[in-house]
Amino acid sequence: MKTAIKIPGKVILAGEHAVVYGKEALSASIDRCVRVVVKPGRGRGYPEDKKGLIKKAIEIAGGDGAVGVEVESELPIGSGLGSSAAVSAATIKAVREYLGKPVEKDELFKLTMECEKIAHGNPSGIDPATVVYGGLIAFRKGQPLERLGISKPLNLLLVDSGRPEESTKEMVELVVNSQNKEMIINKIGKLVEKIKDKLVAGEPAGNLINENGLLLEQLGVVGKRAKKLSSELRGLGYAVKITGAGGVATGSGMMIVFGKDFAQAKKLLDNGKINYFETVIGKK
């Protein structure tokens, strides 16, 4: 007997890092998933368990060494698409179902949050909230999430600027001492309010999301490689923003790109052998 569970990844459209300081952020689940299979026997070599995330998730779900776990993921690891939250949530849900004690979303969110503390240190909760509840959400730390209905689904291009060397926890710590932190965080907070209004009204929000991207660069969470790529894409008329914690030493994780059509962007990315994929958010 085995149990299989799929949980989606996520993108943060606006407000990462500021959300750690109590501002609102906007995020959405995407059409790429993590699939966890639980069956009898010990799992061998989990793909993403350097931090002991899967072991912790099994424990939190009340499982033990008699539970075997296999993970398949369509999400790049550690690149801002919520892979750790999705793996934790899917493992907890699958183990609980396997043990005959299915878990509801509210409890799954709380348990996934426990697991996230390993990856994040001081997580706002936006990753577990987005992957557990799905859809497009407005999230503020410690408050009930708000589900947003948007009139038109949004097409995004997700571009890989390279896996960051730093963990989310390290990036959050880096921001603590960032110059002009308060001013930038406040500006991001105000932008998020405007972006939310635009999205709900079905109006284009690309320019504002691009501004959020530039503020993240000022905050010091975007590395040289991602900045160069962003400026090339902006030069072609696209709106660009990293999504997630970012990174400075090498890659900065995935970037979201908005535009009327992605033909020119794809040409540039293909020439530079840079990975990307398209996703749609806000689909009913």
**Separation in Å, CA 267 to CA 244, 255, 273:** 25, 16, 10
Residue type, position 115, single letter: C
Measured torsion, CA atoms of residues 137, 263, 230, 84, in degrees rounded to the nearest 10: 40
Residues 112-126 as b or e (16 or more Cβ within 10 Å = b): bbebbebbbeebbbb
- Nearest approach, Cβ of 145 to ligand PMV (angstroms)? 13
Give 131 or 199: the residue with its C-beta nearer to ligand PMV.
131
Between the CA of residue 84 and those of 41, 117, 226, what are the distances in Å? 23, 11, 22
For ligand PMV, the closer CB: 123 or 259: 123
User: Which residue of this chain has its Cβ atom nearest to ligand PMV in the complex?
Assistant: 244
CB of 18 to ligand PMV, least distance (A): 8
What's the CA gap between 105 and 239, in Å, rounded?
34
Please report how close the Cβ of residue 219 comes to ligand PMV at its closest, in angstroms.
10
Q: How far apart are alpha carbons 43 and 270 in whole angstroms?
A: 38
Q: Compute CA distances 62 → 2, 66, 68, 69, 94, whole Å.
A: 16, 11, 13, 14, 11
- In whole angstroms, the minimum distance from the beta carbon of 120 to ligand PMV comes to 5
Q: How far apart are CA 4 and CA 102, in angstroms?
A: 13
Task: Report the residue number, 127 or 160, with the smaller CB distance to ligand PMV.
Answer: 127
Q: What's the min distance (Å) between Cβ of 207 and ligand PMV?
A: 22
Nearer to ligand PMV, 15 or 259 (CB): 15
- Say which DSSP state 248 is in: S
Q: Quick one: 172 or 208, whose CB is closer to ligand PMV?
A: 172
Q: 36 - beta bridge partners?
A: 5, 71
Residue nearer to ligand PMV on the CB measure, 79 or 210: 79
* CB closer to ligand PMV, 163 vs 198: 163
Footprint of ligand PMV on this chain (CB under 6 A)?
A: 16-17, 19-20, 80, 82, 120, 123-124, 126-127, 168, 172, 244-245
Question: Smallest distance from the beta carbon of 82 to ligand PMV, in angstroms?
Answer: 6
Provide, rounded to whole angstroms, the least separation between the CB of residue 20 and ligand PMV: 5
- β-pairing, 25-40 vs 239-242, is unpaired
